[in-house]
A and B are shown apart, each in its own frame.
Chain A
Amino acid sequence: MNPVLSVRQLEKRFGAVVAADALTLDIPAGQKISLIGANGAGKTTFVNMVTGYLKPDNGTILLDGIDIGRRSPRSVARLGISRSFQIPQLFVELTAAENLTVAISGIGTRMSLRAPAEAQGRRDNAVELLERFGLADLADRPISELAGGVRKLIDIAMALVRRPKLLLLDEPTSGVSAEEKFTTMDRVIHAVAPDAATIVFVEHDMEIVSRYADRVVAFYQGRILADGVPAEVLNNQEVRRYVTGGAR
């Protein structure tokens, strides 16, 4: 099977710091892949390069065979990669439904200067998407009044609007209480399922990783330390030493 995303010899440096050191990785369609690693290992830099926020110093990033390494975040999003953020990036003065409506507006080629934003069809789509996350009753609440966990889910819902080929989630359960982390992740997986997107999620919680990932890629100092099924990677001696600290 051809990979959705194919990364070859990807390099990125910030001065003396090597954030990506000849990264090579293939991501097949339909997998749920977790990126793990200590802070500064290069996970978020990888996500930022794939989504166009950072330009790699060297190497190629292919999405379905198209080189996206020099493209803008907007162009990458239009080609089929969406992301959520470690700190939810929402429009806090707008309501949950309005946030989704803005995301829906991005799907077409041009926005209407006349068609009301609250037109029933558009609102129905926004509410339907919130419903997938069990948040429909919060549709008319401004983001500024919502708790961190809910914001996280809305951030992910916005990323889903485009039915992306590849969905990148940056620490989807960070800031969520220990009791709610599995519920949150269940909701995310359930909500993403209808679109059968390939998911790459950055995660520090090894319980989440072992429970939800089909495959784990461990990063260390900009390199891939280990790549394989969760049980294998999480028991890897180097991963235990440099990433999990013997956490399992």
Chain B
Amino acid sequence: MRKDLHPLIMIAVVAGVTLFGRVLPTWTLSLATIAASNALIALGIVVLARTGNVSFGQGLFFAAGGYGVALIANAWGLTDAVAQVIVGAACGGLLGLVIGPLIARYSGIFFGMLTLALSMVFYGALVKSTALGGSDGFNVGRPSLFGMTFTDPREADFMLYAVSVIVTGFAGIAATILFRSEFGLASLAVRENNLRVEYLGLSANRIISINFLIAAIFAGASGAFALMAQRHIDPQFAYWTTSGEFVFVAVLAGNQSVAAVFVASMALELVRSFSNLYLPNTWQLVLGIFLLGVILFLPRGIGSLWIRDRHKRRIPATASLTAERGAAP
């Protein structure tokens, strides 16, 4: 049996990281908030990637969450941060519930291109929609928390940091439990041989749809965080480069560790911030070199730094692979 962290320990880690925000410099808080938000949506991509499908259009659900929250906030004065995250997740989830079963029958590049196409259709509709501010988008007010408003920028940043870390942390714990579950194992089976999965009486499409729905919920919640951090929304949320950034984080992380998604997201934000500061004209080049370095030296992602091959952990190092009956030479 594998020895994994107990969920209570993971909750303690989330609490520790949240409290750590109290001693972080202010500029780091907003950076960490964006990193946590991006990690949440990238985590969804990793969840989906376990079925062998990569979405290049998570910006669709990211924007759906952001726009849904922004519209409700402006129409009904909903400013509570937790409520906004729930609304964002619901908006992304509802869209995922409709789209997931429709595209679950496709795989590989067709799946990826379809998600990209849908996000660009949504982007085009947002740009043309004057009611939603067209290409300029529109602003929303400052978020509150359980009736408390935060006028001190440091406190407002910490509130947003805390909510984003807690929500993303709990999403990470849920993903860890999901990965270990029989559903998580079946998802890996779909990635390897979806026809055999069907012959075993399981529905590969249903497994992909559920993973897609989870990814859409995470993306919608992430859109709500991005909205709260920027207090502005525009069609860029659905643009393909935005979706590409989330895939970028997922590739950096690999699919072996949930924690790797958070580390990768934070690393990417740090590299981006510092390269933007010191090399303002060539920061994209630095990001590209960073990604190349990770692909070259950590082809299974940052997670492979602390997670070895999932099978090698179980087989004693002394076991001879060829001596046992039936082993391939």
Residues of A within 8 A of B (CB): 51, 53, 72-74, 77-78, 82-83, 89-95, 98-99, 101-103, 105-107, 111-118, 122, 135, 137-138, 140-142, 145-147, 149-150, 158, 161-162
- Asked if residues B181 and A74 are in contact (CB atoms below 8 Å), the reply is no
CB-defined contacts of B196 to chain A, threshold 8 Å? 89-91, 158
CB-defined contacts of A105 to chain B, threshold 8 Å? 182-183, 185-186, 200, 202
Of B154-162, B216-224, B295-303, B321-329, the stretch lying at the interface with chain A is: B321-329
Q: How far is the CB of A94 from chain B (nearest CB, A)?
A: 6
- Asked if residues A74 and B182 are in contact (CB atoms below 8 Å), the reply is no
Q: B187-210: contact bitstring with A at CB < 8 Å (1 yes, 0 no)?
A: 011001101111111110000001
Pairs across A and B, CB under 8 Å, 5 listed: A94-B185, A101-B185, A102-B185, A111-B182, A146-B327
Given contact pairs A74-B202, A91-B193, A94-B185, A147 touches B177 in the complex (Cβ within 8 A): no
Does B178 count as interface, using CB distance less than 8 angstroms? yes
From B177, B183, B314, B327, contact of A95 by CB (8 A): B314
Residues of B within 8 A of A (CB): 1-2, 177-178, 180-186, 188-189, 192-193, 195-203, 210, 311, 314-315, 321, 324-328
Task: Given contact pairs A89-B193, A102-B182, A141-B315, enumerate 5 new A-B contacts (beta carbons under 8 Å).
Answer: A105-B186, A106-B201, A111-B202, A117-B180, A145-B327
CA distance A99 to B196 in the complex (A): 11
CA distance A61 to B311 in the complex (A): 43
Given contact pairs A112-B183, A115-B182, A117-B181, A94 touches B326 in the complex (Cβ within 8 A): no
CB-defined contacts of A51 to chain B, threshold 8 Å? 199
CB-defined contacts of A101 to chain B, threshold 8 Å? 182, 185
CB-defined contacts of A115 to chain B, threshold 8 Å? 181-182
- Asked if residues A140 and B182 are in contact (CB atoms below 8 Å), the reply is no
Q: How far is the CB of B145 from chain A (nearest CB, A)?
A: 29
CA distance A102 to B189 in the complex (A): 7
CB-defined contacts of B189 to chain A, threshold 8 Å? 91, 94, 99, 102
B197: nearest chain-A partner, CB-CB: A102
- The listed residue with most A CB atoms (<10 A of its CB), out of B210, B314, B321, is B314
- Asked if residues A162 and B185 are in contact (CB atoms below 8 Å), the reply is no
CB-defined contacts of A149 to chain B, threshold 8 Å? 326
- Which 6 A-B pairs have CB atoms at the shortest separation, nearest pair first? A106-B201, A150-B326, A117-B185, A106-B200, A77-B201, A89-B196
- The listed residue with most B CB atoms (<10 A of its CB), out of A78, A93, A112, A158, is A93
Q: How far is the CB of A188 from chain B (nearest CB, A)?
A: 15
- Asked if residues A74 and B180 are in contact (CB atoms below 8 Å), the reply is no
From A77, A118, A135, A150, contact of B200 by CB (8 A): A77
B204: nearest chain-A partner, CB-CB: A74
CA distance A2 to B160 in the complex (A): 69
